[in-house]
A and B are shown apart, each in its own frame.
Chain A
Amino acid sequence: MSDIPTPERHPDIPSRRRQELAALGGPWLEALTASAVAIVLTDALLPDDPILHVNPAFEALTGYPAAEALGRNCRFLQPEPAETEARARIREALATDAPVTADLLNRRRDGERFWNRISIATIRDGHGAPAFRLATQADVSSEYADDPAARELRASRRSLAEVQERLRVVQSVAGAAGAWEWDIASKRLVADARFASIYGLDAATAASGLPTAAFFAAVHEEDRMRLRIAVAGALHGAEVFARDYRVVVDGEIRWVAARGRTYLDAAERPLRFAGVLTDITDQRKVEERLHIAQTAGEVGSFEYVAGYGTAEVSEQFCRLLGLRPAQSLPVRTINALVHPEDPALIQNRDGRISSGTASHEFRITRADTGEERWLASRGEYRAGLAGGTIFTGVIYDITTTKRSEAALRLLTEKLEERVEERTQERDRLWNLSRDLLNVIGPDGRLRAVNPAWTRLLGHDEAELIGTSIEALTHPEDAATARSHLAHLLHGEAIAEFDIRMRTKGGDPRWVSWTVVPEGGAIYGIGRDVTQRKLLEDQLRQSQKMEAVGQLTGGIAHDFNNMLTGILGGIDMVRRRVSQGRLDDVDRFLEAAMQSGQRAAALTHRLLAFSRRQTLDSRPLDVAVLVRSIEDLLRRTLGEQIELVIDMGPDLWSAVADDNQLESAILNLAINSRDAMPDGGRLTIGGRNVHLSATDLAHSDRGEAGDYVEIRVADTGLGMPADVLAKAFDPFYTTKPQGQGTGLGLSMVYGFIQQSRGDVMIESREGSGTTIRLFLPRHHGAPDETPAKPRAAALPGTGETVLVIEDDPAVRLLVLQVLQELGYRAIETADERDAVPILQSARHLDLLISDVGLPGMSGRRLAEIARASRPGLPVLFMTGYAREAADQAQFLDAGMEIITKPFAVDELGQRVNRILRTKGMAGPSSE
């Protein structure tokens, strides 16, 4: 691990920003990421520019995998906390969002240091606000080389030579240089101890004189020839002698610099050749390294003394400009190659600047090829020894860097363009959209709306902004809107919902909303679906009409059959009675009764399907219930079908109407039987399950939670998909026309839905059908099911019963029954007759009332009765009453309900039981 000082981390950069960038960048970002240019992207919206993105080239350059870089500020690459000019410059630039290029000493993950040339650009969003920063990085260490060399690099060759010369002077003063004197006439060489030591000669012999051949003896073979030629020149009168060459002593190679003069006699003939010899091995090494560095790094050096027309230059300098190698070049020649718009290469001709460093970049047109290149110059001003300001500098080619910078700039511009474009696109979308677009603040009030709002709903923008969304919703949907809003404000995404919005004129418009909460606000898109809703309604209506037609037809057919049975039976009885033949009257009455009961069953099923039956839902034990009908089931199924009852252990108690549940199971069993003409197996299972909201997506009223599952599975024919799809359709039947009204499955469905449960059906042609009924769990023990008294009614003892019934036939029947049973019955048709009696002092033991009366409802009358006679027992009669569908809610203590049609016996038993219970409970009401 690296020992980077702990950087501030921002581990929680919202992925949204990254997505935003990805969305903005798109293919651009991919392309850039894939390129060999190291890239860093930072988030300008967060403090201290945390990294959002780095590309593989960056990872390769720094050795840090993206995961380690994300969220940090780039300065984690800096090995030292020390302030530098470059850092200050970056800080300044970032403060004003200006672009900046700087070289910083950085450290790779493995600890290695490198010079990092960073070019940072700020990317602005559509409003010109800084959004991201983009930087490229390049390793430019070669321009810095290692430190001593780097310093030398900045000096020109000439100044290096100067240093060496000075060094030589110092050396000779200090006795470090050797001296020789060559007498041309006598061909003798005299050298001092230092010379002798460099040449590996004996000091004493050298001092006393040697043959001149000694001058070449120790010289490296490769240099000897050229040295001889140079010496020949000197011996023949060339006055200036300067040569660097190698000497080999004991196998060790040393570089020496020999500088000499030829002294002439009066007749201009060469007399002696004398000079000094310095060991330059070390300098030479530096020089060589420098040379290699300069050549390899393609760095040219130059030196310019203010005011002069020429500059001293290195070979590489000339090469970079495409000029022929020279040691000195006119300033005009050099500067003429520089692009007219760019700063001159050689500056400070007037000598105004006397100290400090300088660097600049410029384009040149190469003198040889005419090619345009980018060069950078860096250097330092200093005072010359002989006065005047000397600029010592280097130049190097930065074309590649410039090109990637240009590419970067282009890309940045493109990105900005894209942002701009996208913003415009978005604006266009916002303005032109036919959909309602809006932003809702955390307070539930509209913050922004698009013009579609005004077009659709008529309110203008000023009216809308700041208005709560609820106030704009149709009153019937306000609660829905409020609950959605509450969820959204908690950050829960709601995919879609339809509510009615209110136009300025008050009309409702159906709007289908897609809403996303983000960053505290809610963004909504609403589509006007009024037209669609209307069509849907119409469609539903017409479907309903068609269904009603079908149903009416089916019911009429069945009813006519039943009525034929009833009317025919009664008619036959009447004839027999008039003829005095009473022997077979019972047969016809029995037939009439059966038809009547079938008619009653049919209406019951109709009500069940319409989920308007009167359900007596109470806690029950499903296992007990199934076992109680086991015998009945076996008889119904016949011998060919095996019945398996599989009740899980510790089954919860469920809430349902036990009678209805029995008949539902029976119905399903009969369906199964019919699906297994050749026999098979019917399994009725039970177990505890937990259903989620998604499981219950199709349920009308089911809520997530615990359920008791009743599974009815057969091994029968199964259903093809198209039949399965319509299995619960109320009027769909697989049975031939006239054989049934097709209410079987749909009745089950209606009952279960009304019981706040759910039904699921699975079936495949040829592999049976499984139907699962889910009933809500009852928390607590099941009630003790009261034993149903089946005994015949006992005769009454003269108790007074008030009957309120508007249907004279029913009233007649009820009165007849009561009187036959020995009760005193008071007959009323509605509240006009009944209320005075109820409010009088007359003794009453029981009130029997129809629920659906023309004026005041039976329930209301019961309340009036209870006001003066608390505890008066009430028995309601109802054929159908919406409000009585849930008995538990409808009835108070001491109230009961009996559904029409009822058998005479049934009524008698109920009245009997009520009055007996009352008798045990306490005195009758007065």
Chain B
Amino acid sequence: MSDHVVPLEEMERDALTELVNIGVSRAAASLRKMAGQQVLLSVPSLEVVTRGGAATLIRERESGDLVAVRQDFEGVFSGRALLIFPESNSMALVRAVAGSALSDAEAAEMEDEALTETGNVVLNSCLATMANMLQRPLTMSLPQVVRGNGVGLFELMQVSTEEGGVVLFLYINFAINDRDIRGYIAMLMDLPSLQALRLLITEFIRRVIGDEV
């Protein structure tokens, strides 16, 4: 059985990738302001996989512990979003965001706070941009920091609907002051939500193409 489901068409994936790109760019702009440093975010690619597939993906890629910021969203499409970093990268991110002048102890103290803030900015920007671009409102829960390995994280992603749902899995490159930090955005949705998202994307494409550019 393939871990991939309802593969989006190339164009749809492109479009969704661009939407997230716009979102993370916004987040980057916010982070630049927050940190007063050069921050660039980009999403090179996106995959739609099952929950199990997502767990495998993250396990294969990240053998160490992970740290994630979680937010649920609700609207035309609903689900749960996670911004995931390797635990080992999180302090670098904290320093990048909260300022490199921090001592180790200070940084450790601030870690969760900094992560929550970063996650909030990134996820909010992404989801808000998507909602905005798709011209549909979304409501979001408060961000929450979770730790664990790949499997554990996805186990945490219980959604109301029973039939497992799918995961939009996005790679995200953080370039903060020329320092590369990798991370992932995972958006867990049920199938009806994905279906709805798809319709919206098609609409977006039509609009873009029809745009008087």
The verdict on A878 contacting chain B, using a C-beta distance below 8 Å, is no
Inter-subunit contact B14/A226 (CB<8 Å): yes
A225-B11, A240-B40 known; A187+B213 contact, CB < 8 A: yes
Interface residues of A in 360-416 (CB under 8 A from B): 367
The verdict on A496 contacting chain B, using a C-beta distance below 8 Å, is no
A225-B11, A239-B28, A268-B29 known; A328+B61 contact, CB < 8 A: yes
* CA of A326 to CA of B59, assembled, Å: 12
Report the stretch among A228-236, A277-285, A593-601 that lies at the interface. Answer: A228-236
Inter-subunit contact B25/A239 (CB<8 Å): yes
Least CB distance from B31 to A in Å reads 12
A213-B213, A309-B64, A333-B60 known; A237+B22 contact, CB < 8 A: yes
| Chain B residues, Cβ within 8 Å of A239 | 21, 25, 28-29, 40-42
The verdict on A690 contacting chain B, using a C-beta distance below 8 Å, is no
Inter-subunit contact A229/B18 (CB<8 Å): yes
Least CB distance from B186 to A in Å reads 14
* CA of A367 to CA of B3, assembled, Å: 13
Inter-subunit contact A309/B213 (CB<8 Å): no
The verdict on B6 contacting chain A, using a C-beta distance below 8 Å, is no
Least CB distance from B185 to A in Å reads 15
Inter-subunit contact B209/A225 (CB<8 Å): yes
| Contact code string A240-277 (vs B, CB < 8 Å = 1, else 0) | 10000000000000000000001010001000000000
B62 — nearest CB in chain A belongs to which residue? Answer: A330
The verdict on B57 contacting chain A, using a C-beta distance below 8 Å, is yes
**Which residue of A238, A240, A264, A333 is within 8 Å of B61 (Cβ)?**
A333
The verdict on B147 contacting chain A, using a C-beta distance below 8 Å, is no
* CA of A250 to CA of B24, assembled, Å: 39
* CA of A232 to CA of B15, assembled, Å: 9
**Which residue of B15, B25, B56 is within 8 Å of A324 (Cβ)?**
B56
| Chain B residues, Cβ within 8 Å of A367 | 60
Inter-subunit contact B25/A238 (CB<8 Å): yes
Inter-subunit contact A240/B14 (CB<8 Å): no
The verdict on A329 contacting chain B, using a C-beta distance below 8 Å, is yes
Inter-subunit contact B25/A232 (CB<8 Å): no
Least CB distance from B212 to A in Å reads 8
The verdict on A212 contacting chain B, using a C-beta distance below 8 Å, is yes
A187-B213, A333-B63 known; A240+B182 contact, CB < 8 A: no
| Chain A residues, Cβ within 8 Å of B62 | 330
| Chain B residues, Cβ within 8 Å of A333 | 59-61, 63
| Contact code string B161-189 (vs A, CB < 8 Å = 1, else 0) | 00000000000000000000010000000
The verdict on B211 contacting chain A, using a C-beta distance below 8 Å, is yes
Least CB distance from B16 to A in Å reads 10
A226-B10, A228-B208, A228-B213 known; A236+B22 contact, CB < 8 A: yes
The verdict on A332 contacting chain B, using a C-beta distance below 8 Å, is yes
| Chain A residues, Cβ within 8 Å of B24 | 238
Interface residues of A in 320-344 (CB under 8 A from B): 323-324, 326, 328-330, 332-333, 336
| Chain A residues, Cβ within 8 Å of B64 | 309, 330, 332
Least CB distance from A264 to B in Å reads 7
The verdict on B19 contacting chain A, using a C-beta distance below 8 Å, is yes
Indicate the member of A212, A228, A229, A333 with the most B CB atoms within 10 Å: A229
| Chain A residues, Cβ within 8 Å of B11 | 225-226, 229
Inter-subunit contact B25/A240 (CB<8 Å): yes
Inter-subunit contact A329/B19 (CB<8 Å): no
The verdict on B95 contacting chain A, using a C-beta distance below 8 Å, is no
* CA of A675 to CA of B174, assembled, Å: 125
| Chain B residues, Cβ within 8 Å of A213 | 213
Question: How many residues on the B side are at the interface (Cβ–Cβ under 8 A)?
Answer: 37
Indicate the member of A187, A230, A231, A237 with the most B CB atoms within 10 Å: A237
A226-B14, A262-B25 known; A324+B40 contact, CB < 8 A: no
Inter-subunit contact B42/A240 (CB<8 Å): yes
How many A residues are at the interface, by size bracket? 20 to 34
Inter-subunit contact B61/A330 (CB<8 Å): yes
**Which residue of B18, B53, B213 is within 8 Å of A230 (Cβ)?**
B18
* CA of A229 to CA of B213, assembled, Å: 11
A229-B15, A229-B208, A326-B60 known; A212+B213 contact, CB < 8 A: yes
B57 — nearest CB in chain A belongs to which residue? Answer: A324
| Chain A residues, Cβ within 8 Å of B42 | 238-240
The verdict on B205 contacting chain A, using a C-beta distance below 8 Å, is yes
Tally of A-B Cβ pairs under 8 angstroms? 91
* CA of A621 to CA of B64, assembled, Å: 118
Indicate the member of A216, A228, A264 with the most B CB atoms within 10 Å: A228
Inter-subunit contact A329/B61 (CB<8 Å): yes
* CA of A216 to CA of B211, assembled, Å: 13
Least CB distance from A459 to B in Å reads 79
| Chain B residues, Cβ within 8 Å of A310 | 61
The verdict on B88 contacting chain A, using a C-beta distance below 8 Å, is yes
Inter-subunit contact A237/B14 (CB<8 Å): no
* CA of A367 to CA of B53, assembled, Å: 13
Least CB distance from A905 to B in Å reads 131
Inter-subunit contact A238/B18 (CB<8 Å): yes
| Chain B residues, Cβ within 8 Å of A232 | 18, 208, 211, 213
* CA of A229 to CA of B210, assembled, Å: 11
| Contact code string A419-436 (vs B, CB < 8 Å = 1, else 0) | 000000000000000000
A238-B21, A240-B21, A328-B182 known; A229+B205 contact, CB < 8 A: yes
Inter-subunit contact B22/A238 (CB<8 Å): yes
The verdict on B110 contacting chain A, using a C-beta distance below 8 Å, is no
Interface residues of B in 1-57 (CB under 8 A from A): 3, 10-11, 14-15, 17-19, 21-22, 24-26, 28-29, 40-42, 53, 56-57
| Chain A residues, Cβ within 8 Å of B108 | none
The verdict on B159 contacting chain A, using a C-beta distance below 8 Å, is no
A321 — nearest CB in chain B belongs to which residue? Answer: B60
The verdict on B140 contacting chain A, using a C-beta distance below 8 Å, is no
The verdict on B151 contacting chain A, using a C-beta distance below 8 Å, is no
Least CB distance from A324 to B in Å reads 6
* CA of A326 to CA of B24, assembled, Å: 21
The verdict on B76 contacting chain A, using a C-beta distance below 8 Å, is no
| Chain A residues, Cβ within 8 Å of B208 | 228-229, 232
A187 — nearest CB in chain B belongs to which residue? Answer: B213
Least CB distance from A331 to B in Å reads 8
A230-B18, A232-B18 known; A309+B88 contact, CB < 8 A: yes
B207 — nearest CB in chain A belongs to which residue? Answer: A232
Inter-subunit contact A324/B60 (CB<8 Å): yes
A235 — nearest CB in chain B belongs to which residue? Answer: B213
Inter-subunit contact A264/B29 (CB<8 Å): yes
| Chain A residues, Cβ within 8 Å of B53 | 324
Indicate the member of B19, B59, B88, B208 with the most A CB atoms within 10 Å: B208
The verdict on B133 contacting chain A, using a C-beta distance below 8 Å, is yes
* CA of A215 to CA of B211, assembled, Å: 14
* CA of A11 to CA of B163, assembled, Å: 78
* CA of A333 to CA of B213, assembled, Å: 46
* CA of A309 to CA of B63, assembled, Å: 9
A236-B22, A262-B25, A333-B63 known; A230+B14 contact, CB < 8 A: yes
* CA of A187 to CA of B211, assembled, Å: 12
Inter-subunit contact A233/B21 (CB<8 Å): yes
| Chain A residues, Cβ within 8 Å of B209 | 225, 228
* CA of A228 to CA of B63, assembled, Å: 38
| Chain B residues, Cβ within 8 Å of A231 | 213
Inter-subunit contact A237/B63 (CB<8 Å): no
**Which residue of A229, A309, A330 is within 8 Å of B14 (Cβ)?**
A229
| Chain A residues, Cβ within 8 Å of B133 | 236
Top-6 shortest CB links A-B: A233-B18, A238-B21, A332-B63, A240-B42, A239-B25, A232-B208
Can you offer 10 A-B residue contacts whose CB atoms are under 8 A? A215-B213, A226-B14, A229-B11, A229-B208, A238-B22, A329-B60, A329-B61, A330-B64, A333-B60, A333-B61
Chain B residues packing against A (C-beta within 8 Å): 3, 10-11, 14-15, 17-19, 21-22, 24-26, 28-29, 40-42, 53, 56-57, 59-64, 88, 129, 133, 182, 205, 208-209, 211-213
Contacts A228-B209, A326-B57 supplied; 7 other A-B pairs, CB < 8 Å: A238-B24, A239-B40, A309-B63, A328-B61, A329-B61, A333-B60, A333-B63
